[in-house]
Amino acid sequence: MNPVLEPLFKTVRATHPKSDLRLIERAYDMAAYHHRDQKRKSGDPYITHPLAVASILAELGTDDETLCAALLHDTVEDTAYGLDELRADFGDNIALLVDGVTKLDKVKFGDAAQAETVRKMVVAMSRDIRVLVIKLADRLHNMRTMRYMPEHKRQQKSRETLEIFAPLAHRLGMNTIKWELEDLAFAMLYPKRYDEIARMVSERAPRRDLFLQEVIEKVSAELREAKIKATVRGRPKHYYSIYQKMIAKDVAFDDIYDLVGIRVLVDTVRDCYAALGTIHAQWRPVPGRFKDYIAMPKFNMYQSLHTTVMGPEGKTIELQIRTRAMHNRAEYGVAAHWKYKEETNGSGPAKAKQVNDMAWLRQLLDWQKETSDPGEFLESLRFDLSVSEVFVFTPRGQVIALPEGATPVDFAYAVHTEVGHRCIGARVNGRLVPLESRLGNGDTVEIFTSKSPDAGPSRDWLKFVKSGRARNKIRQWFSKERRETAIEAGKEAIGRAMRKQGLPLQRLMSGEALLALARDLRYPDVSALYAAVGEGHVAAQSVVQKLVQALGGVEGAEEDLAEAAVPTRLKGRPRGNSNAGVMVAGDPDVWVRLSRCCMPVPGDDIVGFVTRGHGVSVHRTNCPNVEQLSAQADRLVQVSWSPQDDSLFLVAIQVEALDRPRLLSDVTRTLSDHHVNILSASVATSRDRVAVSKFTFEMGDPKHLGHVLKAVRTIQGVYDVYRVTN
């Protein structure tokens, strides 16, 4: 046996003692032979990648066919080894898996192309879910070795991982994969935010771990006394999930991190509820924080009891109570069907068929068939991946899962497309409600439908429906039933936008320009473009702008930027250069001003520009405005630094931090402690809980700036601070 395969075989034997190791070794030998002359970006032999992917899948417990397909997944795409040869050597099932993974890799990524790739992923999944499991493992190993890729590739792949692959892993219940993908992508996309959270976690870890151990011992003792056999442990904290909670719950790091998470694993469902009762008898539960995902599992088969209690020292403790089988499913998702025998019986394809019964996968396949626009498909997918769920009942007691904030219209389309189209009213818990009402957990919903043959959805419904299915069905109905109307409306909207700008209507709306634009926007003809505008998929103004750009653009006026320069100090008109600290070559007595657009300080390379009646304005040589000023070379003059004791210079710094209470006061106090005279400040907090503060202040000695920046960097939550030069 090849010694390279020993670690892989050891993992395989642990989960599948009867595996065909000779088949796996044959797949490895074939892959190694065909990849023999190829290298990874890291310089390692290429075969290390398929072997690493197979090792990840072996840890998940996947079957022989999946491991063989993982070892061979790049051969058809990257070597001379053809699919027909592979089929002859390894059989139809492995060939089908390799072909599915190859199809996902073939499409080049752009916005629409990315959506098209996800669409192909869904088609491949419909044949065999294992295709997606291989793809997720492939992406995980690529993310682990992403540091060898160029910067733009790292950014693109990391964004794709956060937006598409990590949520897909979550939806398939594969949390171990999801968490690692998220943390790797987070570190790659936002390294400074990641490092700041890691630093704050490490600072608080010892104190928190002591409290956590105390809670675990108390919970274990209570359950032992109640004769419940249980394993109690702390829940791991993942950096990206901490950051996401800070954004979603709009709270500071300490409030999230100090929340203690405990996981209780028991043998039976009955023990889950018994453990819950024991814990609630010991500690007071927090109202509204109990969720029963055992009776009502999530879309991805996740089952658990969630509760929050007030623990020792008045601190809140989050508990998850589940059986060991439920825990395996929560960690490995669809892969648990291979890893744990009690979950399912039968061969690989039969298991894949069983997994395909998951409601979410069926819904994805519906979208795949219904949605013609790949961008719209991706938008629906992203939306569905990102929202929480509510569970409501039909009048007959059937449970239907909907996105949080869903309305009776979403419910109607979830029941049946025709019920949605003909919906005219709803009754929730026996009371009539408006169609835009939000549904809550446990509501019983009854839909009233119209018998009129002309019944159909309202365009206004698109403003409040939450589910991708409802949105797609409504748009689809309007696309089919109202295409001509939409074409006319779109044509009129584009004409109106052109008239508003005083553009030549006839010239722009005829000829090849509009057809070329339609094709650029991926519409087959001009009518399809008009229809898209009429249905609100594309803004008329956007079409007109693109049309104008394609024909050469509209000339704009230019501004004389040199006049934007202002004096550093405004207390009377100074004589000579004492305040500015700059000497003009050949004329020591001319009035000099430091321009405000780039705020030069001693040490910067500078150039002077003679303004009309306002002396010489001094710019940094790499100031964006210098390029335009260079057109008037006769007005450029040589200048040099000559700072005096009373010279003052304007400096602007930008502080980027994870938002928290009292952040601004801590920053301003630190600046004040370093004797900085703040002239202006601005603060903006984005939706992702990043506070960006800009401070402009006067400084006599620019060397002092380094000490100021270093001091601000030590403030909790601050992950970046730097001088702004334009």
The model's pLDDT over 205-261, given as tens digits with 9 standing for 90+, comes to 788 888 888 889 999 999 999 999 999 988 777 888 888 777 766 777 777 665 678
Q: Is the pLDDT higher at 483 or at 665?
A: 665
CB 663 within 8 A of CB 656: no
What's the confidence (pLDDT) of residue 343? 39
Q: Does 386 score more than 60 pLDDT?
A: no
Rounded Cα gap, residues 414 and 33, in angstroms: 51
The span from the CA of 377 to the CA of 475, in Å, is 12
- Assigned token pair, 469: 């299915």
pLDDT, position 104? 60
Average pLDDT, stretch 110-134? 62
Evaluate whether 166 touches 188 at the Cβ level (below 8 Å): no
Task: Report the distance separating Cα 237 and Cα 158, nearest Å.
Answer: 21
Q: What is the mean pLDDT of residues 269-282?
A: 93
Classified as helix, coil or strand, 401 is strand
Q: Residues 436-484: pLDDT tens digits?
A: 899 987 788 999 998 887 788 888 898 899 887 888 888 878 766 667 7
> pLDDT tens across 522-578, in order?
777 788 888 888 877 788 888 888 877 776 654 322 222 333 333 333 333 343 444
* Res 368: pLDDT: 58
At residue 684, φ and ψ (nearest 5 deg) are -135, 135
Write down the pLDDT at residue 335: 61
Residue with tokens 């450029």: 636
Is residue 684 within a helix (H) or strand (E), and if so which, with residue range? strand 677-685
**In the block, residue with structure tokens 């449970």:** 399
Confidence of residue 36 (pLDDT cuts 50, 70, 90): confident
Crossing angle of the two packed helices 130-144 and 48-60, in degrees rounded to 10 = 120
Residue 28 vs residue 100, higher pLDDT: 28
Cross-strand bridge partners of residue 428: 431, 445
Does residue 262 register a pLDDT over 60? Answer: yes
pLDDT exceeds cutoff 60 at 722:
yes
- Residues labelled catalytic: 77-78
What was the pLDDT predicted at 563? 34
Q: What is the share, in percent, of the chain residues with pLDDT greater than 70?
A: 80
Q: Looking at the DSSP assignment, which residues form a beta bridge with residue 681?
A: 695
The pLDDT value given to residue 349: 42
Distances (CA, A) of 308 to 229, 319, 320, 335: 21, 6, 9, 29
Residue 352 scores a pLDDT above 60 = no
pLDDT given for residue 527 in this prediction? 81
| pLDDT band at residue 605 under the 50/70/90 scheme | confident
State residue 156's pLDDT score: 85
Q: What is the pTM of this model?
A: 0.61
- Contact indicator for 90, 81 with CB cutoff of 8 Å: no
**555 burial class (0-12, 13-18, 19+ CB within 10 angstroms)?**
exposed
3-class DSSP state for residue 231?
Answer: strand
122: three-class secondary structure by DSSP: helix
- Report the pLDDT value the prediction gives residue 163, as an integer from 0 to 100: 78
CA proximity to 671, closest of 640, 643, 692, 696: 696
CA 384 to chain CA centroid, nearest Å: 13
Bridge partners of residue 393, in order along the sequence: 399, 444
| 348: pLDDT strictly greater than 50 | no
Asked whether 300 and 175 are in contact (CB, 8 A), the reply is: no
For 539, the token pair is 């803004």
Out of 66-75, 192-201, 263-272, 480-489, pick the least confident: 480-489
CA atoms of 123 and 100, how far apart (whole Å): 9
**How much is the mean pLDDT over the chain?**
78
What is the per-residue pLDDT for 346? 42
Residue 616 has pLDDT above 60, yes or no: yes
- Residue 69, pLDDT > 80, answer yes
- Residue 377: is it exposed, middle or buried by C-beta count within 10 angstroms (0-12/13-18/19+)? buried
